[in-house]
Amino acid sequence: MPPRQPQIEIVEMKKDSMTFILSKTDASIANALRRVMIAETPTMSIDLVEFENNTSVLHDEFIAHRLGLIPLTSSRVEKFNFTRECSCTDNCENCSVRFNLHVTCTDDTKQVTSDDLFSTDADVRPVHREDDSIVIVKLAKGQELKLTAIAKKGVGKEHAKWQPTCITTFQYDPDIRINQNIMDRLDEEKKVKFANSCPVKVFAYDKDTRTVSVEAASNCVYCQECKFYSNDIGHPDLVHVGYKPERYIFTVESSGSLEPQEIVLSALSILKTKLAHVHENLKNEVDF
């Protein structure tokens, strides 16, 4: 049997999210891709913080945890080594990026935000800036926060702060079909009720032609409400709710550290490398 050639078809692309259809493969590969996107796609994140002075109301660990969760731009993450694989003994520029933060409050109050983190590498800086910046702590008059933070390359399976995604889901591509012979025999009230039985507006009723059609099959969440209504009115075959084999609708929402397409491409390349290792090891076993 010739190998299958999985395909990706982009449905929607936004700055922070994308929707695509993966086809010609099975659910195990779709799920492997989802898991690699979440847990094995590397990004940069703050991992070490040295406090020089902290007279704010939050203790050091609290602020260090907050700093770790600030998404950092990671499009150039491939230029860094993982610390565990780097030849240095103490966070060199090949495996880490240093940030400085020094804020003193001279007014009544002052917010310390991600804008106050100054990076030593232009490629790695907080994603959210200016109007969109993330608040780290609020200082009162006379309080000071002075620290050095070190960002490292990591993956989500070590700590969730390295996950590049907020949402990564896939579902089977719905296959919704109305039996028009049965539908034609229903009165207007039942047609309208059938169309309205779907909570996510998969069906549309056209008043002029008095017909019900499938308008947005991809909205289907397999709740079966349309089937329940069909059964209630004595027509269990009025609608078919199934899914198309080997077609999966993916939704990927980025934290901002990587663009959604970068997450998908990076995960595909990692998955390919993993499969190549399996293939190589299997070959060695067989040869042996």
Rule CB under 5 A: which residues touch Zn ion? 86, 88, 92, 94-95
| Residue 214 · residue 177 · CB < 8 Å | yes
Regarding beta strands 7-13 and 17-23, do their DSSP bridges make them parallel or antiparallel, or are they unpaired? antiparallel
CB neighbours (10 Å) of residue 175? Answer: 15
Residue 222 contact among Zn ion, ligand SF4, none, beta carbon within 5 to 8 Å by kind: ligand SF4
**Least spacing, CB of residue 201 vs ligand SF4, in Å:** 8
- The answer to whether 224 contacts ligand SF4 (rule: CB under 6 A) is yes
Q: Is 176 in the site for ligand SF4 (CB under 6 A)?
A: yes
88 binds, among Zn ion, ligand SF4, none (CB under 5 to 8 A by kind): Zn ion
Q: Which stretch binds ligand SF4 (CB under 6 A): 75-83, 150-158, 204-212, 217-225?
A: 217-225
* 223 contributes a contact to ligand SF4 by CB under 6 A: yes
Q: How many CB atoms lie within 10 A of CB 212?
A: 22
CA nearest neighbour of 155 among 273, 280, 263: 263
Residue placing its CB nearer to ligand SF4 in the complex, 62 or 172: 172
Cα angle value 225/226/228 (rounded, 5°)? 65
Which of ligand SF4, Zn ion, none binds 86 (CB below 5-8 Å, type-dependent)? Zn ion
Based on CB atoms, which residue is closest to Zn ion, 90 or 131?
90
Smaller CB distance to ligand SF4: residue 241 or 263? 241
Residues 231-270 interacting with ligand SF4 (rule: CB under 6 A)? 241
Residue 252 and residue 168 in contact, taking contact as beta carbons nearer than 8 Å = yes
Q: Encoding tokens for residue 211?
A: 């017909």
Residue 198 interaction partner, one of Zn ion, ligand SF4, none, beta carbon < 5-8 Å per kind: ligand SF4
Please list, in sequence order, all residues whose beta carbon lies within 8 angstroms of the beta carbon of residue 21, skipping any fewer than 6 positions away.
Answer: 8, 9, 11, 173, 247, 248, 249, 250
Angle, helix 188-197 to helix 225-232, in steps of 10 degrees: 150
**E strand or H helix at 175:** strand 165-178
Strands 165-178 and 109-113: unpaired
| Tokens 């922070």 -> residue | 16
Least Cβ distance, residue 63 to Zn ion (angstroms): 25
> Angle CA(48)–CA(51)–CA(57) in degrees, nearest 5?
115
**CB contact at 8 A, 159 and 139:** no
Using rule CB under 6 A, residue 198 touches ligand SF4? yes
Told to check if 220 binds ligand SF4 by CB under 6 A, we report: yes
Q: Which is nearer to Zn ion, 38 or 155 (CB)?
A: 155
CB of 84 to Zn ion, least distance (A): 10
User: Per rule CB under 6 A, is residue 202 in the interface with ligand SF4?
Assistant: yes
Tell the smallest beta-carbon distance from residue 274 to ligand SF4 (Å).
Answer: 35
247 φψ region: left (φ > 0), alpha (ψ -120 to 50), beta (else): beta
By CB under 6 A, tell whether 226 contacts ligand SF4.
yes
To ligand SF4, the closest distance from the beta carbon of 173 in angstroms equals 12
- Is 215 an interacting residue with respect to ligand SF4 (CB under 6 A)? no
Residues near ligand SF4 (CB under 6 A): 176, 197-198, 200, 202, 220-226, 241
